[in-house]
Structures are given as C-alpha cells and as structure tokens.
Amino acid sequence: MTAREAVLTALRSARGLPVGEQVTEPIPVLQVEGDPTHAFERNARALLAEVHRTQGWQAAWQHLESLIRARGWQTAATWGASAFPQPGLADVLARSGCRALQPSDWVSADVGITGADAGIAATGTIVLASGPGKPRSVSLLPPVHVALLAESRIVPTIEDWLVVNAQALPQSAGVVFVSGPSRSGDIEMVVTLGVHGPGEVHIVLVCSE
C-alpha cells in the first residue's frame, strides 16, 4: 500500500470530531462603513503605504512622472505595457529618463512599477495576480513598489473579492495580497520595514474623472 492510500484509509476510518456541532454557511462579518475609496485610502495609509489620489489616467501618469523625478529613480522594473488599463508608461519613463531594465537586472532596479487587479477597502490592501506581462518579482525585488490602481477596482473586503473571483483564481499561478511595505518585528518587537520585499509602497489611485 502506498503512503497515499495508507493515509487516506486511516483518515476515512478515523472517529473524527464529535458529532452534534452545527456548522452554518459563512456570512460576511467585516464590513466597510462609508465610502470604500476613502476607507481604502485611510487603511492603506495606516499600513504605512503612501496613497496618491489622481483624477483619470492622464493625471496618474503625470503624477508617476513627477514622483520618479522627485525621487531620482534611474532604473525601473515594470509590468508589460499591455498589463495596464491605459497606455502611457513608456512615455513616462522616456520623459523622466528612467530606464526600464531587463528581467535579469530587476534585482538592481530602483523602483518596481505595476498595475493592480483590485483594492480592498477594509484593509487598504492591493491584489496582484500573475499572468502574461505581470511578473511577480516586479513588486517584490526593488526597494520601492509603485502600483497604479483604478478606483473602480476597489471592493469592500478580501472576502468579497475572493468569493467573486474564486473560479478564476487558478488562472494565475500566483496571486498576492499586498498590505503596505514588507515588515518584521522579530528583533525585540521593533517594527522594521523592507525586510525582503519593498520597504516603501506607493499607490497611485486613479479615480474616475
């Protein structure tokens, strides 16, 4: 008998939990009060992400450009152009003199620029799903991560997003929920940022015009 059969047989014949305990279908518990976009902003800031509110994609790209200039980022790792809802990234990089690196050099990039598949209002989280043009390491390797999130993609809770997207989840080998910069409290509970992932997270919120 293989280990698989042995284990499954043992589980099937196990006594298990005592019967009698009622289990019901889950209903959402955590809810968002007020405007989801405002809740998103507030909660993302509480996680130490910086939120930049802009009106429309035009303004969003402009804001990204000024951010790159102000911070002096020279090199970038980015999602593919087709992974953003609107074109504009290539122009921003060209105008600001920031060079888009090849994947093999991403580990030395100053900034990683991605879109976002969703925003979670209750916690200020962004959702990134892997796929063509959407590599996972862009939001992971550089010390700074900038994500452009369309306001229309904000949903109230993690649960809302998971339940709606459950069947589509397997289309991405890796989905990640990002809530602020990478952090650790392992050394005497002092919070330090940027342990393995980015120590700085910017969310450019693209509101409808």
Partner 1 sequence: MKPVAKDFIPASRIALADDHLRKAIFAGAMRPYLQAAERWAETSGRERLRTQAREARVRALRKLPELLERLEKNLLSRGAKVLWAADAEEANRLIAQECVARDARLVVKGKSMVTEETGLNQHLERAGMEVVESDLGEFIIQLAGETPSHIIAPVLHKSKDAIAKLFSERLGLPLTDDPAEMMRAARSYLREKFLRADVGISGVNLAVAETGGLVLVTNEGNGRMVTTLPRTHIAVMGLERVVESWKDLASIVQLLPRVATGQSVSTYVSIIHGPRQQGEPDGPEELVLVIVDNGRSAILNSDYAESLLCIRCGACLNACPVYRRVGGHAYGWVYPGPIGSVISPLLLGLAEAPDLPMASSLCGACRDACPVKIDLPEMLVRLRAEPPMRRKGGRMMSLGMKMWRYVMLHPSVYRWGLAATRFLTRPWHGEDGSLRGLPGPASAWLESRDLPAPAPRSFRALYRGPER
Instruction: Provide the strand spans (E) within 15-168.
Output: 50-55, 75-78, 99-100, 111-115, 118-120, 125-129, 144-150, 154-155
Which listed residue (34, 70, 102, 166) binds partner 1 by CB under 8 A?
Answer: 166
The nearer residue to partner 1, 21 or 209, going by C-beta atoms, is 21
152 scored as a contact of partner 1 (CB under 8 A) = no
CA-CA distance, 36 to 15, in Å (whole number)?
46
153 scored as a contact of partner 1 (CB under 8 A) = no
Binding to partner 1 in span 177-196, by CB under 8 A? 177-190, 192, 194-196
Q: One symbol per residue from 60 to 99: x for binding partner 1 (CB under 8 A), - otherwise; what is it?
A: --------------------x-------------------
167 scored as a contact of partner 1 (CB under 8 A) = yes
Task: Identify whether the C-beta of residue 47 lies closer than 8 Å to the C-beta of residue 124.
Answer: yes
Q: One symbol per residue from 23 to 52: x for binding partner 1 (CB under 8 A), - otherwise; what is it?
A: xxxxx-xx------------x--xx-----
Which listed residue (53, 71, 136, 153) binds partner 1 by CB under 8 A?
Answer: 136
Q: Is 205 exposed, middle or buried (0-12, 13-18, 19+ CB in 10 A)?
A: buried
Task: Identify whether the C-beta of residue 116 lies closer than 8 Å to the C-beta of residue 85.
Answer: no
The nearer residue to partner 1, 60 or 116, going by C-beta atoms, is 116
Task: Identify whether the C-beta of residue 79 lies closer than 8 Å to the C-beta of residue 114.
Answer: yes
Q: How many residues at the interface with partner 1, by CB under 8 A? A: 76
